[in-house]
A and B are shown apart, each in its own frame.
Chain A
Amino acid sequence: MQRKLGFAALALALLGSTAIAHAEGELNIYNWGNYTSPEMIKKFEDTFKVKVTVTDYDSNDTALAKIRQGGHGFDIVVPSASVMPIWISEGLLLESRPDQMENFKNVDPQWVDVPFDPGRHYSVPWQWGTTGVTVNKSAYAGDINTSAIFLDPPAELVGKVNVVPEMSDVMHMAVTYAGGEPCTGDKAILKKTRDILIAAKPKWASMAYGNVEQYIKNDLMAGVNWNGASFRARLGNKDVAYGYPKEGYPIWMDNASIVKDAKNVDNAKLFLNFIMDPENAGMISTFARYANGIKGSDAFMPADMKGAPEIDIPEELKAAGKFNLACAPEIQEIYTKIWTELQK
């Protein structure tokens, strides 16, 4: 019996390898770790007879450094909105005109004329989300749609606040809370921002990543958080709620694009068109649990994601969300100084 199974496996493996040999080419995807739906990739491979390889990266800086070096062999890369202007201005991406592709009609109009790629000449929305505040309603019943949750925490939350150590997100929220625009160079606003942050820090418990468990177990009662992480915490603890600060909050979006020196451009274009199909975009979201930018894709998502308050932004708070973009170098230097002073 054992042996028979072994033969069967061998035969299957052989079949598999011949299928690969017959494939019409390859596609090398370079994407964030744990972010690419294997079912969606399988479907793409079966539909177009293309062998797909997915390689992970863990930060925009890693991806940027690797592609800048050249000789990487990747076709698709998925940079965040904040760094897209760098990728485009340095000529690292192919102007593949997704806006002229067949499935482009499915892209939600609000994600077409984005500041980092107006009209979508280079990129296709992969997934997007927001950075806001997570609050445990059993600890605090007041308004949670404000950055005061962590910048001027109510007495009930003092000492139970976590701030994710993501400089651009936290600075974005603090600057807008102080009354400025993201990436502002206005010294008065920046000074106020610094003072607010330094006064708030003693009221925080920690500045750490990966805290879903701690919100579920009531170790943390509030904090700066990503919508997806807050969503997962709510599934484990119904008191956990997610707020969109009305003063301003960052929106992030990762965008699938074709690398300038891609070897499999045709397959890469097929792939961009493929992920603009609602069913396939739904598969991406089902796997990584963030919203995508494709209309009609929620029909293909699990029930717990439909209408989730972490994903559907309330109409009156939509305007407060702005894309997180990379600040100019001299502004960034000031932000880093404030950030270092905060953590000295």
Chain B
Amino acid sequence: MAISPAEASEIVRKKDIRSRWLLSAPALILIAVAGVGPLLIVVVYSFLAPGNYGDVKWEFSTEAWFNVLLSRDIFDDTVTLADAHLSIFLRSIQLAIVTTVLCVVFGFPTAYFIATRPIHTRQIWLFLITIPFWTNMLIRAFAIQEVIRNEGIVNSLLMGLGLIAAPIPMMFSDFAILVGMTYVFLPLMVLPLYASIDKLDFRLIEAAYDLYASRFNVLMRVIVPLVKPGLIAGSILVFIPALSSYVIPRVLGGGKNLMIGNLIELQFGQGRNWPLGASLSVTLVIIVLFAMLYYVRNASRSGGTHG
């Protein structure tokens, strides 16, 4: 029996679709099993009641979600905004944003410097950038503590030179957290920025100078728009781990003020309230999601005007 050309192309098309699904199946399964699945468990747990000593009771409850944003006063039962949770979220977001900005400020010149070196030395510079990744983050946090503590390297150096009489207290502050997070996450900004700057057509910069653009204008109106994809990728890579960072606030911030990560840990550990921990985790995911949407929309809009 003969097949019409239309049917034949239909069969080919179906085969093609099937092979595409099959080829992408490993990736899809991995995402489902390792990404969506566990997240769904977290979502389910956030709608359960806390067990007496950790774990959960299998009964539906929205109490955890109520407690994320609202708080029933322990003493007079009035319901107010959960001031404690909100201020912890706000501080975490602020510190993550400042960390991202600091990483851009220090990462951009670094990436630019590397990208403008001769090809054979670039590899060495990139290699140097990745060296900190060889060490565990906890150890790096303690190393920073050694640098900035009261009798640490910086203070003893300054005191030895006679520049200061008493040590400058730097440990256990937001400053210490920012130093630590910027140091730890800087490579995540430098590498994507480098990838963008590497592809930069330097003739465009020459052209801008030929048209009498000032150095500032060249940077802001030529270079930055061209390396924007790298800037956005780097910002996402820095912002997300900074927002949920746990070890650095604990070690360098002195733990007096919680960050989101510490607050979640408290609920699963000493607080024994897993549903609240789960709903706080989902809230964190939602915040990250909104931040990503914001970045991506920003990126596509600017891409449109330049395209």
Interface residue A42 (Cβ < 8 Å from any Cβ of B): no
Q: Which of A206, A332, A337, A340 contacts B256 (CB 8 A)?
A: A206
Q: A47 at the A/B interface (Cβ < 8 Å)?
A: no
Q: Chain A contacts of B74 at CB under 8 A?
A: 187, 190, 334, 337-338
Whether a CB of chain A sits under 8 angstroms from the CB of B267 is yes
Collect the chain B residues with CB atoms within 8 Å of residue A165's CB: 255
Cβ 8 A contact of A340, one of B75, B84, B250, B268? B84
Q: Mark B271-297, 1 if CB is under 8 A from A, else 0.
A: 111000000000000000000000000
Residues of A within 8 A of B270 (CB): 166-168, 336, 339
Choose among A165, A207, A344 the residue with the greatest number of B CB atoms under 10 Å from its CB.
A344
A340-B263 contact in complex given A64-B54, A68-B55, A333-B273, C-beta closer than 8 Å: yes
Contact of B53 among A59, A205, A326 (CB under 8 A): A326
Give the residues in chain B near A166, CB-CB below 8 Å. 270
**8 Å CB interface, A314-331 against B:** 326, 329
Chain B contact-residue range equals: 35 or more
Q: Is the CB of A207 within 8 A of B255?
A: yes
CB neighbours (8 Å) of A337 from chain B are 71, 74, 84
Q: CB within 8 Å of B: which of A70-108? A: 83, 86
**Which B residues from 103 to 150 make CB contacts under 8 A with A?**
149-150
Contacts of A201 in B (CB 8 A): 256
What residues on A are CB-neighbors of B172 within 8 Å? Answer: 205-206, 208
Q: Which among A167, A214, A343 has the highest number of chain B CB atoms within 10 Å?
A: A343
Main secondary structure of the interface of A (DSSP, over half): helix
Contact flags A169-202 to B (C-beta < 8 A → 1, else 0): 0000000000000000001001100000000010
**A155 an interface residue at 8 Å Cβ cutoff?**
no
* Smallest CB separation, B47 vs chain A (Å): 18
Question: Which of these, B87, B88, B149, B271, contacts A332 with CB under 8 Å?
Answer: B271
With CB as the reference atom, state the residue of chain A lying closest to B73: A337
> What 1/0 mask marks residues of chain B from 83 to 100 whose CB sits below 8 Å from any chain A CB?
111011000000000000
* Residues from chain B with Cβ under 8 Å of A344 in the complex: 83-85, 87-88, 257-258
Q: Is the CB of B254 within 8 A of A206?
A: yes
Q: Which single member of A208, A326, A329 contacts B50 (CB below 8 Å)?
A: A329
B84 touches A341 (CB 8 A): yes
Residue of B with least CB distance to A85: B53
Once the chains bind, are A61 and B149 in contact (CB under 8 Å)?
Answer: no
Q: State the CA gap A83–B171 with chains docked (Å).
A: 35
B271 proximity list for chain A (CB < 8 A) = 167, 332, 336, 339
B52 interface residue per 8 A CB criterion: yes
Kindly list chain B residues whose C-beta atoms are within 8 Å of the C-beta of A343. Answer: 88, 255-258, 262
Smallest CB separation, B279 vs chain A (Å): 14
B203 CB to nearest A CB, Å: 54
Q: In the assembled complex, which residues on chain B have CB atoms less than 8 Å from the CB atom of A334? A: 74
Residue of A nearest to B172 (CB): A206
Contact indicator A207/B50 (Cβ below 8 Å): no
With A167-B271, A339-B266, A344-B83: A208-B255 Cβ-Cβ less than 8 Å: yes
* Bound Cα distance from A344 to B263, whole angstroms: 9
Residue B251 lies at the interface, judged by CB distance under 8 Å to chain A: yes
Task: Report Cα–Cα, A187/B74, bound state, in Å.
Answer: 8
How many Å from the CB of A237 to the closest CB on chain B? 13
Q: Does A219 interact with chain B (Cβ within 8 Å)?
A: yes
Contact B53 A64 (CB under 8 A): yes
CB-CB under 8 A from B257, the residues of chain A are 343-344
Q: What 5 A-B pairs have minimum CB-CB distances, sorted nearest first? A: A206-B254, A344-B84, A336-B271, A207-B255, A167-B270
Give me the interface of A with B, judged by CB distance under 8 Å.
59, 61, 64-65, 68, 83, 86, 165-168, 187, 190-191, 201, 204-208, 214, 217-219, 326, 329, 332-334, 336-341, 343-344
Contacts A219-B149, A329-B53, A343-B256 known; 8 new A-B pairs at CB < 8 A: A165-B255, A204-B256, A206-B256, A207-B256, A208-B251, A218-B151, A340-B85, A341-B84
* 23 sample A-B contacts, Cβ–Cβ < 8 Å, listed by A number: A61-B269, A64-B54, A65-B55, A166-B270, A187-B74, A191-B75, A206-B172, A207-B256, A208-B254, A217-B151, A326-B53, A329-B50, A332-B271, A336-B266, A336-B267, A336-B271, A336-B273, A339-B266, A339-B270, A340-B88, A344-B87, A344-B88, A344-B257
